[in-house]
Chain A
């Protein structure tokens, strides 16, 4: 696995969180990775690029503080700074919400690049929450990014879409794409009713950066509008590790991951044709 962490670039890093399929956990991942990076003392800006279907604001618990949004910025109704919502719980964490009453054509990839260029001056990390699909919303989200986190679940539909997304990212010149496998259920993997992390990595053939177990605490956290990264929950710990790996640290996989690798190895022996 050739994992080339971009340590060479000292400036800010622009990461797009994408998946192709909807509902696999892009927004949850964006919220947790962003919050986790802020907890490490980084200056982080989250951008919701899903115009018309904004969600990152509610997952972050910042929905009541929106005044201006991304479309207002590109249309010149406000300055970039005015559209940024500061998360009072985490110093250095900001959200640029999307517009709820417009559609994807309200922003162009060129305009996104401009906004991001502006934000790069003030932030260590800019994380873009990409909409589902491969249309203009996707093109907007990837336009200014130099690295991608591809989120998938261990299901055939999600993996198929992730493969398509990886192909499109490659065609758009992305060099660094890392895989997050979300909602893995070890009990099902052991029973032979769910693909293992290794199965998914083998199929998609990009470096793995995180395995997040299926954890009901994610729903609780979303209910409360407070990302669970770093909390004493399986998903909270898993996301904390993803954050470390995003910054380039080599963190071992958690206990439930060890279980996986054990089973991966066992099954690997059996499946060698």
Chain B
């Protein structure tokens, strides 16, 4: 999705805005609440490994939920900075 030195076209901006907007519309969950969930996830995972808390992406995937085939699910993409953190042993 990220191009080199290229500004996003308004078409892409519209599409990306809508995707985020409709997720919160559909599950009736505001962007603020998503931020809170994100912050809490970061807090919990940081106990066990060093993560890049600023670049966590979470989203609720409703694909298939509309037709009743699947339940919506929450996806979190958490970049790990260092897996072999000593903190892990401390948290016993």
Residues of A within 8 A of B (CB): 2, 155-156, 159-160, 163-164, 166-167, 170, 189, 191-196, 199, 203, 205-206, 271, 273
Contacts A163-B25, A194-B11; A156 near B18 (Cβ below 8 A): yes
Which 4 A-B pairs give the minimum distances between C-beta atoms?
A192-B9, A192-B11, A193-B10, A163-B22
A205 pairs with B63, CB closer than 8 A:
yes
Residues of A within 8 A of B17 (CB): 156
* Interface pair A163/B11, CB less than 8 Å apart: no
Q: Nearest-CB distance from B1 to chain A (Å)?
A: 5
Interface of A is mostly: helix
Q: Which residues of A contact B63 (CB under 8 A)?
A: 205
Are A192 and B10 in contact, with the CB atoms below 8 A? yes
Give the distance in Å from the alpha carbon of A166 to the alpha carbon of B25 in the complex.
12
Contact A160 B18 (CB under 8 A): yes
Q: Are A205 and B15 in contact (CB under 8 A)?
A: no
Q: Is B74 positioned at the interface, with any CB of A under 8 Å from its CB?
A: no
Interface residues of B in 32-80 (CB under 8 A from A): 63, 66-67
Contact check, B18 vs A203: say whether CB atoms are below 8 A apart. Answer: yes
Q: Is the CB of B11 within 8 A of A160?
A: no
The listed residue with most B CB atoms (<10 A of its CB), out of A2, A191, A199, is A199
A164–B11 CB distance below 8 A: no
* Chain A residues within 8 Å of B25, by CB: 160, 163-164
A271 touches B1 (CB 8 A): yes
Residue ID in chain B nearest A190 by CB atoms: B11
Partner of B26, one of A156, A163, A206: A163
The reply to whether A273 and B1 contact each other, CB–CB distance below 8 Å, is: yes
* B14 contacts A by Cβ under 8 Å: yes
Residues of the B chain whose Cβ atoms lie less than 8 Å from the Cβ of A206: 66
Which B residues touch A189, using CB under 8 A? 11
Q: With CB as the reference atom, state the residue of chain A lying closest to B12.
A: A192
B24 to chain A, nearest CB (A): 11
Task: Report chain A residues within 8 Å CB of B26.
Answer: 163, 167
Q: Closest CB-CB distance, A188 to chain B, in whole Å?
A: 8
Q: How far is the CA of A194 from the CA of B15 in the complex (A)?
A: 9
